[in-house]
Amino acid sequence: MADNPKGYANPQLLITPGELSAQLAAGETPLLLDLRPAEAWAAGHLPGAVHLDLFGISLVDTDPAPLRAFLWILEHLLASRGVEAGRRVIVYDEKSGMRAARAFWALEFFGHPRTQQLDGGFGAWQAGGHPVSTEPVAPVATSWTGTPVEERIASYRHVWDRLKATDVAILDTRSDGEYDGTLVRAARGGRIPGAVHVEWTTNLRPDGSFKSSDELRAMYEPLGVTPDKEVLTYCQGGYRAAHGYLALRLLGYPRVRNYVGSWKEWGDRLELPVET
């Protein structure tokens, strides 16, 4: 977003359909990753976009061994779709959604230097009158391996160790029912003690694009989610949490971690404290 109308500290993390269309017309060749379900991609996608559905790849145990295996799978899948360090990657789904945000977070975790999310997603691309293709696109795999940035991920042990720290904010991005414990999706319902609640969909405007910097700050800062703190985001499985991660990255927050095990792990580990 060259002109940065929404006032972000990190506007380069998003790209509008108009900007992307102009760049493609000028001959640029970023890797376009469509994170929607396969049937949605088959019905129509951005010209040249490769399909990648990560929705079934989740983790419910962030002890070291299973966490390593999970991250290896993510890295392998990204490379299998053509990710490489020297090529810009643009991720999208139906709107500025959690599927694309999860891929965005994964690429940032692996240290990819040029990752963007299409603001407003496929819906905004269509609404702008840009071309849509049904041509099959075969991915060209690479041998890419990332350089993990450990400060962008949290395990249950990290969250547990930081529960009472004064420089930490725990951000619950789930629905109201999940947060207050009336909707139970693990062995126990409730929330991580001290967590504040901003449901991920409130990051977005009605058209599916991200809210402005001022709008986002007005949501987060009164709850104590401020740039001076380490922010630990979570949901049920790390998808909505990745959306909160991206919103705070847009604002320039320097310390944001996605707790990838999220409530499914926390709620199932009976030794961990729960608040309702």
Q: Is the pTM of this model over 0.95?
A: yes
Fold equal for 11-127 and 150-268: yes
Q: Which residue has the tokens 């559905």?
A: 53
- Topology, domain 150-268: Oxidized Rhodanese; domain 1 (3.40.250)
Question: With pLDDT > 90 as the criterion, what percentage of the chain qualifies?
Answer: 99
**What confidence category does residue 53 fall into, taking pLDDT thresholds of 50, 70 and 90?**
very high
Select which of 20, 91, 198, 235 is catalytic: 235
**pLDDT at 2 (0 to 100):** 56
Mean of all residue pLDDT scores within the chain: 97
Residues 253-266 have pLDDT tens digits of 999 999 999 999 99
Domain boundaries, the chain: 11-127, 150-268
Tens of pLDDT, residue by residue over 12-42, are 999 999 999 999 999 999 999 999 999 999 9
| Contact indicator for 196, 134 with CB cutoff of 8 Å | no
C-alpha 13/C-alpha 25 separation (Å) is 21
Residue 203 has pLDDT above 50, yes or no: yes
**H or E element: which one contains 267?**
helix 262-268
Task: Assess whether 235 carries a catalytic annotation.
Answer: yes
Give me the CATH topology for the region 11-127.
Answer: Oxidized Rhodanese; domain 1 (3.40.250)
Closest alpha carbon to 97 in 127, 74, 120: 120
